[in-house]
Amino acid sequence: MIGGQPAPPAGAPQRPTPRRVLVIGGLAWSLVNFRLQLMRRMVANGHEVIAAAPDFDPATQAILEAARIDPVHVPMDRTGINPRHDLETLDALRRLIRQRRPDVVLAYTMKPIVYGCWAARLEGDLRCHPLFTGLGYAFSDPNPTGKRRAVRAAAILLHRHALRSVRLGFVYNDADRADLRRFRMVPASTRLVPVPGSGADTAHFTPQPLPAAPPLVFLFVGRMLFSKGLTDLRDAARLLRGQGHAFRVELLGPTDSNPDAVVAATLDAWQAAGEVVWHGATRDVRPYIAACHVLVLPTRLREGIPRTILEAMACGRPVITTDAPGCGETVGDGDAGFAVPPGNPAALAAAMRRFLDDPGLAARLGENARQRVCRNNDVHAVNRLLLTEMGLELRDHPPTLPPADNLAPPALPPATADDPGALAFSSAAIRVISLGAVR
């Protein structure tokens, strides 16, 4: 007998003790795009998995249910700063935890982390593990002023209050880990384990031959936001065209409700002027990566570790990005691409010119990119690390994973990224702490 249960037959696969796991995201679509393989691995380890988020659509729900994952809607205003709405989120998560009694809670991105960990503490101090995918907007400037300073102050206070019982968390980059310690957003005793991003499925994103050139194609993938460096990319392209270079810049991704969004009319104007080709949103980035030579992500944000970079590298494409935390170190300046200072179109143009001047550079660095992502960022290695650290997988006995179901992810919603820059707190949110409805 083991724990009151019959011992497994000799030679039978060993599994961890079955648990009920609650995964909380800020957007239902992200549960499929970023966490599906992680949750499938939980199920393969014998756990019951509940996936909670706002904005479920039929396609997302069907994909989760097919993977034996229970989708549950919770209200959440991802980009809002109304404390009343945030209290509704906290109350909904408390009710869900009270009803389903999970053994483990895993929350990722800012609002799910704050209100998920807070609810877990209030409902019996349950094990809650925050997965910090990037601290984003509020922490991008080391010396913020005005609204950004107020946002950061509120975020710090909310994290301190909500996460004071957290014993184990995960971080994507060293800069975030340093700020979490510096601002005492988690207890000093909390163990913060580094994780190399959400990982890339290197069996799904495979090396693709480079298309014929000229023209060389530079591809941007992401939400259409100024803070992603879109005007820097446009201005760099103008500099290069002014020097007589011929190439194409393609943009892939949706517009956004964020005030920082580049609106469709502006994108249409850039396209009409021949400066870019804007493809809009897609449910499968692979054909677009295959049709490009270089991925460009000139972000000004703290991104965590961008999935777009990992997927392009897995397909054998070099990357030009910035030295923002989580970006430059993922590429390795000069190894799988180049890292330039954020907000510097001249430096970005110089990096792009290196590919224009050397026709063989994309192939050489693209081969390095594939090797680098397979070595450092394979999704199965990432997920195994997460689960073993949480005690949800035995280190010496990984599960037999079910075959990939080849289900395409649901169509992109207006806001798509696993990106805490989309989340906002205001100083008004501090009022949530003082309301008598919670401790």
CA distance 205 to 142: 36
CA distance 49 to 67: 10
Give residue 125's pLDDT. Answer: 82
CA distance 406 to 206: 15
* Amino acid found at 329: E
Q: What are the Cα distances from residue 247, in Å, to 64, 251, 362?
A: 41, 14, 14
CA distance 347 to 117: 41
Evaluate whether 92 touches 85 at the Cβ level (below 8 Å): no
Give residue 427's pLDDT. Answer: 45
Q: Which two tokens stand for residue 41?
A: 């691995």
Evaluate whether 49 touches 43 at the Cβ level (below 8 Å): yes
Q: What is the 3-state secondary structure (H, E, C) of the chain?
A: CECCECCCCCCCCCCCCCCEEEEECCCHHHHHHHHHHHHHHHHHCCCEEEEEECCCCHHHHHHHHHCCCEEEECCCCCCCCCHHHHHHHHHHHHHHHHHHCCCEEEEECHHHHHHHHHHHHHCCCCEEEEEECCCHHHHCCCCCCHHHHHHHHHHHHHHHHHCCCCCEEEECCHHHHHHHHHCCCCCCCCEEEECCCCCECCCCCCCCCCCCCCCEEEEEECCCEHHHCHHHHHHHHHHHHHCCCCEEEEEECCCCCCCCECCHHHHHHHHHCCCCEECCCCCCCHHHHHCCCEEEECCCCCCCCCHHHHHHHHCCCCEEEECCCCCHHHHCECCCEEEECCCCHHHHHHHHHHHHHCCCHHHHHHHHHHHHHHHHCEHHHHHHHHHHHCCCCECCECCCCCCCCCCCCCCCCCCCCCCHHHCCCCHHHHHHHHCCCCC
Q: What is the CA radius of gyration of the chain?
A: 22
Q: Is the dihedral of CA 172, 310, 378, 15 positive or negative?
A: positive
Q: Which two tokens stand for residue 251?
A: 């943009």
Q: What are the mean pLDDT values of the chain's consecutive 10-residue runs (439 residues total)?
A: 45 80 95 95 97 95 97 87 88 97 96 96 94 85 84 93 97 94 97 95 95 95 94 98 97 86 95 97 94 97 91 98 92 94 97 97 98 96 97 90 60 43 46 47
CA distance 131 to 112: 10
Evaluate whether 370 touches 316 at the Cβ level (below 8 Å): yes
Nearest alpha-carbon partner for 152 in 162, 163, 138, 135: 138
Q: How far apart are the first and last CA of the chain?
A: 42
Give residue 423's pLDDT. Answer: 43
CA distance 255 to 398: 40
Give residue 412's pLDDT. Answer: 47
Q: Is the dihedral of CA 404, 406, 410, 416 positive or negative?
A: positive
CA distance 333 to 338: 4
Contacts of 348 (CB under 8 A, 6+ apart): 229, 232, 233, 236, 296, 298, 320, 340
Phi first, then psi: give them for residue 240, nearest 5 degrees: -70, -40
* Amino acid found at 189: S
